[in-house]
Amino acid sequence: MKSESAKGVSLRDSTFTDEYYEQAWSQIASSISSQEEERIEQTLSLIPGDSSSILDVGCGDGRITNRLNSLYSKVVGLESSREALRHVKVEKILGSVDSLPFPNKSFDLILCCEVLEHLPFRVYPGAIEEIQRVAAKYIIVTVPNNEDLGRSSVVCPHCSCVFNVSRHVRSFNQERLKGLFSQFGLQSLQFCLPVKVYPSFLIKGAKFTGLLPKNPFPTTALCPQCGYSSSSSGEASLRAITSDRDRLSVRLLRPLARRLIPTKKRGTWLIALYQRG
């Protein structure tokens, strides 16, 4: 195993965003929900049999990368968070997806799982070009499916900044994924973990009238504008009480909503396999 290296890699500037990911990975590293486990297994099942070298860009804590090490001749994980890389057990590089330190077509397959929705607007175009430059045969991308970014937004109680609590800055659907890469064609597009979805306008109305609680400011949230965090401001206990009350109101309203409000099913995630040419 090689130690992490930043040589030849343009890292993002130190910002509140970087602080957020360091803080987030320190709390969620090696913690995988049953839903995410299902997504990972479905993603792994899509890896073509003629892939021998894999680069996992935005590998996080190695929750996918570490499973590949004994199965393929070359596996590398690239991540911009030092905290996350501490848990990666394969060859790893500290770097940014918009500046991959590899020659053209260096890997048979590039994995990009739960990454693209997070990338800043100045990073995203370069990331798309770099991924298809370095991939020799295949690309696998996973993203949230048709996410309503506003539904998971919160308001900073200190500066009133409104932001997505998971730091997602773009939403993807089937059509957007079809033309994602100019040099690669879409070979397979799968849905993962179907869930019932209530109409967005009803959710907004229920929150406006107080029938549903407005999104609380989580202890894991870090305001991108002022750097405010409730976990460091002495408000954690108050937030916990509020969250308990909100969860109770949701439990009481959910059975009624299921009977009266029409819902539709959609996959929580989209998993796409691309092939060069």
Residue 63 predicted with pLDDT over 90: yes
Across the beta sheet with 135-144, what order do the strands follow?
Answer: 91-94, 74-79, 53-57, 107-113, 135-144, 264-276, 184-197
Confidence band, pLDDT 50/70/90 cuts, at residue 172: very high
CA 50 from chain centre, in angstroms, equals 27
Give the H or E element holding residue 55.
Answer: strand 53-57
- The fold of the 16-195+266-276 domain, in CATH, is Rossmann fold (3.40.50)
**pLDDT given for residue 236 in this prediction:** 44
For 228-258, how does the pLDDT look when each residue is reduced to its tens digit (9 = 90+)? 887 654 444 434 434 554 555 556 555 655 5
Residue intervals in the chain for CATH 3.40.50.150 = 16-195+266-276
What is the identity of the amino acid at 158? Answer: H
Rounded mean pLDDT, 71-88: 95
DSSP codes of every residue in 83-118: HHHTT--SEEEE--TTS--S-TT-EEEEEEES-GGG
Count CB neighbours of 60 within 10 A: 23
Rounded mean pLDDT, 99-116: 97
Q: What proportion of the chain, given as a percentage, has pLDDT over 90? A: 51
Q: In sequence order, what E strands does 114-263 have? A: 135-144, 153-155, 162-164, 184-197
For 185-222, how does the pLDDT look when each residue is reduced to its tens digit (9 = 90+)? 999 999 997 765 556 655 566 555 655 556 677 777 88
Q: Which residues of 71-84 are buried (b: 16+ CB within 10 A; e: fewer)?
A: ebeebbbbbbbebb
135/259 Cα distance (integer angstroms):
48
229/243 Cα distance (integer angstroms):
16
Q: What proportion of the chain, given as a percentage, has pLDDT over 70? A: 73
Whole-number average pLDDT of the chain: 82
Q: Which of 23, 179, 220, 41 is nearest to 113 (CA)?
A: 41
Rounded mean pLDDT, 150-163: 87
Q: What's the predicted TM-score (pTM) here?
A: 0.79
